[in-house]
């Protein structure tokens, strides 16, 4: 038995040894065959998918869009045409696990898949483009108007005719279908009634997408305002509590791709001047800003929009609101498009959160913010130093003057190289120079080799509905429509109170390359708009003013430097006027030849920094040895021009330098030039080293009462001499007053405003004309002497916790 067993084992072993190679080969073959079958199956699957996709794909504006995918990628489908009142059913990161009230037809929709998801080809080398995008629209409505807007909005967003999806214009690389370029989905927008969702699920942290999906959210919140209790109040409480809850991350909404808020309200009964118009939307915008990053960089995609249901503002009640809504929507879609294309928020991201609310109420807080600091005007810096004695002078950059060339003769330098433009001429502000760095750090955009543009703090203030500069009160210039620029960054003075901090080049003659006026014009306009665009994420910026700001109406040629120094200033002015942009040109009374040759400007200023030679030398530190003669010649030229254009003296009062005992001296100068207007403002202390050297301290800044006394004294002196001037207007806010010739006192009222349209018409007529021909409406009563000069329509900002009595004073004067 055992022998037989041994025999059969030996036989089996023999068989194994004989066939083992065959067996191994068969096993290996089977394995290879199995693998091949698997690959073939995958291949076939892909082929079917691509056929399906190709048949359903539509090309809209260069974007490949899956309109009706034949192969569903998910078993759950979201109907985007209905108002979705469902919650996202995926597990959340931090949300309380509580049942939610759900109404409506819920079909379930894991984020990241949906039958209507649109596919957008992904631009290469961009970050943050791996994720899909989900737009969530939150709203509340008591009487139904908000809900009707948002429902239409949601459907429009996705529609081919009006929506943002078809508008996307990302270049479609030819290889997008081959799978080489990955794609992302823009998911159908979802609409949520704030009353019907669990707020924790969306506003303590973001909904978690379904497994394996990466989703970026855009939150759009549209709410009415109710002075009484309303669902929005509960929502606001929630946002506020979340922010203050120490257990929750202080910026739980920072993973948002972005947010934007629109409010409906009625300004007839809840006026803006009382801070009531759209008050709830303002608060929602503020808290979302904080929760999404605050100072570190909130995710605001576009400025807060406000729709006015005021029946008086339009024939039909909703006319204005609809226009407001459309305007806001355009900016929002613009920003979303930018985000979709680049995966990033626009250049404005740097500024986002610069002045997060709460902080927004205090300019001092603004100054504390590093990001905003670079954007603050030098004028502001003066004010901040003025207001805050703890800011040391040493924080101000040291002066960096370029060498002065006294030998090169002045003259009109040809633009074409070889035609007088010496190849040896250098850039006035070379890109690698200290001057360039200093100016760009201060917020200037340097255009070409010698021009600059920046937006002033008043433009920013007006964008936020907080008042324009004194030029609005005196001349009707709305600050958010105003561009501040200069075609010459160089100047021939080194004034002690100059807020340029000595960073601009100085010289007595033009010795640099000359850029053509067309290039400068194009460059400064583009630079201005770029800077306006950067304001879109700043809290409080109003959508309507933001839109308007993209049509410059006024140009203040009064930034750093001396504009009439530029050899082609007249050509540059013609370009401004040709684009219906008014010109306010300020010169320093040191270039009589250029002043004489100057063509028409809307308003021509001469800076009068002192009333006598000694004072002028001490204050302006002019480079010209014959500065006093030049100054006086300029006054004579101004007198000649007074019947051809509006001429203005700009007096800057410096206590201890040019204020006391100089009334008679100033009256002499007025008598000599007979300007149409005399603007008088208190100096702003800017703390430069040159100011320090001249012994200028904050004690030299006059109080408003001192400015008032001076204005009255000068007015009395002028009238005593038989000169027909009067006290026309004031802007206490910037410590500025206006004396005007009685040529502008018509029918018992001051008419200091300008009819800009008429000015352009007169220019077109091509004949000589006088300033009386483009006089505007009467000066508003609130701006008249003694009435303060604050536009009642603007929001008044008070220092935090100090109440209405301690109004924040901003820098005096603004430009010029
Ligand atoms: C009792 C009441 C209080 C209101 N309070 C404000 C308010 O404080 N600020 C504002 O701008 N509008 C206010 N409004 C106007 C509403 O916000 C406006 O009519 C809005 O369009 C209503 O939106 P809804 O129809 O979606 O509820 C108020 C309206 C009512 C009836
Ligand atoms: S301060 Fe000057 S630049 Fe600024 S808005 Fe007023 S006029 Fe324009």
Name the pTM for this structure: 0.57
343, 126 contact by CB (below 8 A):
yes
pLDDT at 610: 85
Q: How confident is the model at residue 643 (pLDDT cuts 50, 70, 90)?
A: very high
Q: Which ligand is nearest to the CA of 810?
A: 2
More confident residue, 629 or 362: 629
* Residue 814: pLDDT band with limits 50, 70, 90: very low
Ligand with smallest separation from the Cα of 229: 1
The CB-side HSE value for 690 (13 A sphere, CA atoms) comes to 21
- Ligand 2 atom showing the smallest separation from residue 459 Cα: 5
Who has greater pLDDT, 632 or 442? 632
Residues whose CB is less than 8 angstroms from the CB of residue 467 and which lie 6 or more positions away in sequence, other chains included: 458, 461, 733, 790, 791, 794, 795, 796
- Report the residue among 264, 284, 795 best suited for mutation to probe ligand 1: largest number of ligand atoms under 8 A from its CB: 264
pLDDT at residue 56 above 60? Answer: no
Half-sphere exposure of residue 534, counting CA atoms within 13 Å on the CB side?
20
Ligand number, closest to the Cα atom of 265: 1
Spatial CB neighbours of 351, under 8 Å, sequence gap ≥ 6: 371, 372, 375, 534, 535, 537, 538
Residue 302 — pLDDT band, cuts 50, 70, 90?
A: confident
Residue pLDDT, tens place only, 124-163: 334 456 678 899 999 999 888 999 999 999 888 877 666 6
62 class by beta-carbon count within 10 Å (0-12 exposed, 13-18 middle, 19+ buried): exposed
Distance CA 769, CA 761 (A): 11
pLDDT higher than threshold 70 for residue 318: no
What spacing in Å lies between the alpha carbon of 149 and ligand 1's midpoint? 15
Interval between CA 321 and ligand 1 midpoint (Å) = 13
Handedness of CA 559, 561, 565, 567 (dihedral sign): negative
- Residue 123: pLDDT over 50: no
Q: Out of 225, 274, 276, give the residue to mutate to test ligand 1, the one with the largest number of ligand atoms within 8 Å of its CB.
A: 225
Summarised one tens digit per residue, pLDDT across range 436-480 is 877 777 778 899 988 999 888 889 989 988 888 999 999 999 999
Region 766-785: mean pLDDT is 96
Measured in Å, residue 53 CA sits from the centre of ligand 1 at: 47
For residue 477, the ligand 2 atom closest to its alpha carbon is: 7
Ligand number nearest CA of 467 is: 2
**Nearest by Cα to 522 from 444, 566, 565, 576:** 576
With a cut of 60, say whether residue 253 has pLDDT above it. yes
Question: Residue 499 pLDDT more than 70?
Answer: no
pLDDT tens string 560-578: 778 898 999 999 999 999 9
pLDDT of residue 156: 84
Report whether pLDDT(45) > 80.
no
323: tokens are 């226009």
Percent of the chain's residues with pLDDT above 70: 64
* 57-70: pLDDT as tens digits: 332 222 222 222 22
- Among 138, 235, 236, 270, the mutation site with the greatest number of ligand 1 atoms within 8 A of its Cβ is 270
ipTM given for this complex: 0.86
pLDDT at 787 over 70: yes
pLDDT for residue 391: 27
**Residues lining ligand 2, CB < 6 A?**
456, 458-459, 469, 471, 477, 479, 482, 484, 556, 814-815
Mean pLDDT value of segment 650-661: 82
- Given the CA of residue 813, which atom of ligand 2 is nearest to it? 1
697 lines ligand 1 (CB under 6 A): no
Measuring from atom 6 of ligand 2, which residue has the nearest CA? 469
Torsion of CA 386, 391, 395, 397, to 10 degrees: 0
pLDDT in tens, 265-297: 999 889 888 889 999 999 999 999 989 887 556
**What pLDDT is attached to residue 396?**
28
Ligand nearest to the Cα of 552, by number: 2
Query: Is the CB of residue 222 less than 8 Å from the CB of residue 137?
Result: yes
Q: Which residues pair with 586 in a beta bridge?
A: 605
Tell me what pLDDT residue 187 has. 85
Return d(Cα 256, Cα 207) in angstroms, integer.
11
Q: Which of 337-351, 399-413, 764-778 has the lowest mean pLDDT?
A: 399-413
Least confident span in 5-14, 32-41, 53-62, 122-131: 53-62
The SS3 call for residue 11 is helix
Distance 462 CA to ligand 1 centre (A): 25
Atom of ligand 1 nearest to the CA of 278: 11
Instruction: Classify strands 445-447 and 451-454 as parallel, antiparallel or unpaired.
Output: antiparallel
Pairing mode of beta strands 118-121, 183-193: antiparallel
What pLDDT score does 431 carry? 83
Which one of 474, 484, 789 would you pick to mutate in the ligand 2 pocket, going by the greatest count of ligand atoms within 8 A of its CB? 484
Summarize pLDDT for 337-365 with one digit per residue, the tens: 878 777 766 533 333 233 333 332 222 22
Q: For residues 233 and 190, give the distance between their C-alpha atoms in angstroms, rounded to a whole number.
A: 22
SS3 197: coil
Tokens of 741: 């010739």
**797 alpha carbon – ligand 1 mean position (Å):** 24
Cα–ligand 1 centroid distance for 119 (angstroms): 39
Q: Which ligand sits closest to the CA of 150?
A: 1
Identify which has the larger pLDDT, 744 or 620: 744
Residue 144 Cβ inside 6 Å of ligand 1? The answer reads yes
Which of 145, 269, 281, 324 is the pocket-test mutation for ligand 1 (most atoms within 8 Å of CB)?
A: 269
Residue minimizing CA distance to atom 1 of ligand 2: 814
Q: 226: Cβ below 6 Å to ligand 1?
A: yes
Q: Whose CA is nearest to atom 3 of ligand 2?
A: 484
Query: Is 277 touching ligand 1 by the criterion CB < 6 Å?
Result: yes
473 lines ligand 1 (CB under 6 A): no
Which structural domains are found in the chain, ordered by start?
61-353 (3.40.50.360), 378-407+418-783 (3.20.20.70)
Instruction: Provide the pLDDT confidence category of residue 808 given band limits of 50, 70 and 90.
Output: very low
Residue 641: per-residue pLDDT: 96
Residue whose CA is at the smallest distance from ligand 1 atom 10: 265
Label residue 589 by pLDDT band (50, 70, 90). confident
The confidence band for 693, taking pLDDT boundaries of 50, 70 and 90, is low
pLDDT in tens, 179-223: 433 456 788 889 999 988 988 889 988 998 777 778 889 999 999
């Amino acid at each position: 038995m055992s022998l037989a067993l041994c025999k059969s084992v030996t036989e089996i072993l023999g068989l194994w040894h004989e066939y083992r190679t065959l067996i191994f080969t068969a096993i290996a073959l089977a394995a290879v065959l199995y693998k091949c079958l698997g690959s073939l199956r995958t291949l076939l699957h892909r082929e079917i998918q691509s056929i399906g996709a190709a048949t359903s794909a539509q090309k809209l504006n260069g974007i490949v869009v899956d309109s009706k995918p034949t192969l569903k990628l998910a078993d759950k489908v979201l109907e985007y045409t209905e108002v979705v009142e469902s919650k996202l059913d995926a597990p959340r990161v931090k949300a309380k696990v509580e049942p939610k009230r759900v109404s409506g037809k819920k079909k379930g929709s894991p984020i990241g898949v949906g039958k209507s998801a649109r596919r957008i080809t992904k631009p290469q080398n961009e970050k943050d483009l791996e994720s899909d995008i989900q737009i969530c629209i939150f709203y509340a409505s008591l009487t139904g108007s908000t809900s009707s807007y948002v429902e239409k909005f949601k459907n429009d967003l996705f529609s081919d005719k009006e929506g943002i999806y078809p508008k996307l214009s990302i270049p479609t690389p030819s290889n997008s279908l081959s799978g080489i370029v990955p794609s992302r989905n823009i998911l159908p927008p979802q609409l949520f009634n704030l009353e019907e969702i669990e707020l924790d699920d969306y506003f303590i942290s973001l909904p978690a997408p379904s497994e394996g999906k990466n989703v970026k959210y855009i939150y759009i919140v549209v709410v009415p305002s109710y002075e009484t209790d309303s669902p929005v109040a509960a929502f606001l409480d929630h946002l506020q509590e979340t922010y203050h809850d120490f257990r929750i991350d202080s910026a739980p909404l920072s993973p948002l791709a972005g947010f934007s808020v629109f409010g409906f309200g009625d300004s007839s009964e809840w006026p803006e001047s009382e801070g009531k118009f759209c008050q709830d939307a303002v608060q929602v915008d503020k808290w979302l800003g904080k929760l999404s990053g605050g100072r570190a960089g909130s995710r605001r995609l576009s400025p807060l929009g406000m729709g006015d249901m005021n029946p008086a503002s339009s024939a039909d009640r909703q006319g204005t609101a609809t226009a407001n809504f459309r305007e806001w929507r355009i900016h929002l879609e613009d920003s979303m498009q930018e985000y979709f294309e680049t995966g990033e928020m626009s250049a404005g991201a740097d500024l986002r959160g610069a002045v997060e609310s709460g902080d927004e109420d205090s300019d001092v807080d603004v100054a504390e913010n590093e990001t905003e600091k670079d954007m603050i005007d030098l004028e502001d810096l003066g004010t901040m130093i003025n207001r805050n004695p703890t800011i040391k002078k040493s924080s101000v950059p040291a002066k960096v003057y370029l060498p002065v060339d006294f030998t090169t003769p002045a003259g009109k330098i040809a633009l074409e190289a070889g035609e007088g433009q010496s190849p040896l001429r250098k850039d006035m502000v070379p890109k690698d120079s200290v001057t360039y760095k200093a100016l760009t750090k201060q917020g200037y955009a340097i255009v070409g080799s010698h021009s600059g543009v920046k937006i002033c703090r008043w433009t920013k203030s007006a964008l936020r509905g907080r008042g324009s500069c004194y030029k609005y009160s005196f001349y009707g210039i709305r600050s958010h429509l105003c561009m501040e620029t200069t075609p010459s960054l160089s100047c021939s003075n080194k004034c002690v109170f100059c807020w340029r901090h000595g960073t601009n080049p100085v010289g007595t003659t033009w010795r640099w390359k000359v850029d053509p006026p067309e290039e400068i014009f194009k460059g400064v306009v583009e630079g201005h708009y770029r800077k306006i665009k950067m304001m879109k994420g700043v809290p409080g910026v109003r959508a309507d003013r933001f839109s308007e700001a993209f049509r410059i109406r006024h140009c203040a040629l009064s930034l750093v430097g001396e504009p009439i120094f530029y050899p082609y200033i007249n050509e540059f002015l013609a370009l401004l006027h040709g684009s219906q942009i008014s010109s306010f040109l300020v010169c320093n009374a040191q270039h009589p030849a250029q002043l004489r040759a100057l063509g028409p400007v809307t308003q021509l200023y001469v800076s009068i920094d002192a009333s006598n030679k000694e004072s002028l030398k001490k204050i302006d530190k002019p480079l010209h040895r014959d500065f006093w003669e030049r100054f006086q010649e300029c006054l004579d030229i101004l007198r000649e021009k007074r019947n051809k254009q509006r001429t203005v003296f700009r007096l800057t009062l410096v206590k201890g330098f040019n204020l006391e005992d100089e009334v008679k001296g100033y009256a002499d100068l007025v008598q000599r030039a007979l300007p149409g207007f005399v603007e008088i403002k208190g100096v702003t202390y800017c703390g430069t080293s040159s100011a320090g050297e001249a012994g200028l301290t904050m004690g030299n800044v006059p109080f408003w009462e001192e400015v008032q006394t001076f204005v009255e004294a000068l007015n009395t002196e002028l009238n005593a001499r038989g000169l027909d001037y009067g006290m026309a207007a004031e802007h206490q806010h910037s410590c500025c007053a206006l004396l005007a010739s009685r040529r502008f006192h018509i029918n018992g009222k001051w008419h200091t405003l300008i009819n800009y349209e008429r000015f352009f018409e007169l220019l077109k007529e091509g004949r000589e004309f006088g300033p009386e021909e483009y006089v505007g409406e009467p000066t508003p009563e609130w701006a008249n002497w003694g009435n303060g000069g604050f536009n009642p329509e603007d929001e008044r900002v008070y220092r935090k916790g100090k109440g209405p009595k301690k109004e924040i004073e901003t820098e005096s004067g603004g430009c010029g």
